[in-house]
Amino acid sequence: MGPERLDVIGLDEISLKKGHGDFVTIVTSRVAGKTTILAVLKGRTKETVKKFLSSIPKRLKKTVKAVCSDMYEGYTNAAAEVFENYAVVIIDRFHVAKLYRKGLDGLRKKEMKRLKKELSEEECKKLKNVMWLLRKDVEELTDEELEILKCLFRYSPILELAYKLCNDLTDIFEDDISKSVATCRINDWKKKVKESGLKCFNKFISTLDKYMDKITNYFINRQTSGFVEGLNNKIKVIKRRCYGILNVKHLFQRIYLDLGGYSLYA
């Protein structure tokens, strides 16, 4: 018996052979907190994905509220064309966060390289593991970790500025606001970056400008690809347990059973 509704569709890829780029596309749905595997498609081209999404019966297409993926245009464009009259296409906020944090991390590397030349060995030891502290949620930092960051920022005010800008953007995504308000606030954030003179976010801002509409679609119903990432981790375990699965059909069957298919035969 097929599903009665789909609600949220997730698109992502995994590699069947480590380091070989032998990709398959994983198509899932999320309904009432439960993840269901819809398909494992050979390859990740727009044509392959669009063909499958187009095959979904109209009655089910009408139940889709959102399609979530990363920024890969093969996925976002296929979904936008198929679900134009039914659902919004959302670029996952956590993939967005990886990009602006990458800008911060690039600046950290440059600043740490400079500080290692300018500071004593003892002073440098105090700044050990700052990479992880900069990535950690502010609310989760211990008093000791906060002191380490304060020490770092005394030596590198420019890094402190970039860190605050990163957190400001995260706060926008955390706030319960509309798409239009979010768009205005993100544009204000971009102005702050420009005024700061920081260059570490330039590449991210170019990406932001290109995909702004699909990124800010997140604020319509606050859907993410978190459930897809969770499934990908399960698939990695399945592959290890089965000593690798290179057949697409067999992989689909294995995932289907592990996600609850066994209950049909209980």
| Prediction pTM value | 0.86
Task: Spell out the residues 6+ positions from residue 218 whose beta carbon is closer than 8 angstroms to its own.
Answer: 90, 91, 92, 93, 173, 182, 224
pLDDT of residue 26: 87
In a domain, 218, yes or no: no
Residue type, 9: I
> Do 85 and 106 belong to one domain?
no
> Among residues 130, 175, 120, 174, which one has the least CA distance to residue 152?
130
For 220-239, the pLDDT digits (tens) are 999 998 887 777 777 766 66
Please say whether the beta carbons of 6 and 63 come within 8 A.
yes
Dihedrals phi, psi of 7, to nearest 5 degrees: 60, -75
In a domain, 104, yes or no: yes
The residue written with tokens 């911060």 in the block is 104
Distance of CA 34 to the CA centre of its chain: 19
For the residues 139-153, what does the mean pLDDT come to? 94
> Do 70 and 144 belong to one domain?
no
Grade residue 216 by pLDDT with cuts at 50, 70 and 90: very high
Please say whether the beta carbons of 11 and 22 come within 8 A.
no
What percent of the chain is helix, strand and coil (3-state, nearest 5)? 60, 15, 25
- Distance (Å, rounded) from C-alpha 201 to C-alpha 206? 9
Higher local confidence (pLDDT), 19 or 109: 109
> Do 207 and 113 belong to one domain?
yes
- Distance (Å, rounded) from C-alpha 44 to C-alpha 250? 18
> Do 138 and 163 belong to one domain?
yes
Residue type, 127: L
Higher local confidence (pLDDT), 212 or 229: 212
- The domain that contains 52 carries what CATH number? 3.30.420.10
Radius of gyration of the chain (CA): 22
In a domain, 1, yes or no: no
The residue written with tokens 């698109």 in the block is 11
- Distance (Å, rounded) from C-alpha 213 to C-alpha 203? 18
Helix (H, G, I), strand (E, B) or coil at 1: coil
In a domain, 234, yes or no: yes
Structure tokens at 51: 């063909």
Distance of CA 150 to the CA centre of its chain: 29
Strand 34-42, strand 23-31: pairing: antiparallel
In a domain, 217, yes or no: no
- Alpha-carbon distance values, 154 to 15, 123, 124 (Å): 44, 12, 13
Grade residue 264 by pLDDT with cuts at 50, 70 and 90: very low
Structure tokens at 165: 């800008």
Range of the domain at 200: 94-212
> Do 32 and 83 belong to one domain?
yes
pLDDT of residue 265: 40
- Asked if pLDDT for residue 24 goes beyond 90, the answer is no
The count of domains in the chain is: 2
> Do 81 and 102 belong to one domain?
no
> Do 158 and 247 belong to one domain?
no
In a domain, 138, yes or no: yes
> Do 197 and 125 belong to one domain?
yes
In a domain, 207, yes or no: yes
In a domain, 2, yes or no: no
> Do 98 and 205 belong to one domain?
yes
> Do 130 and 176 belong to one domain?
yes
Please say whether the beta carbons of 30 and 221 come within 8 A.
no
**Ordered alpha helix ranges (H), 126-247:** 130-135, 143-155, 157-174, 179-196, 202-216, 218-221, 226-241
- Asked if pLDDT for residue 266 goes beyond 50, the answer is no
> Do 137 and 154 belong to one domain?
yes
> Do 111 and 179 belong to one domain?
yes
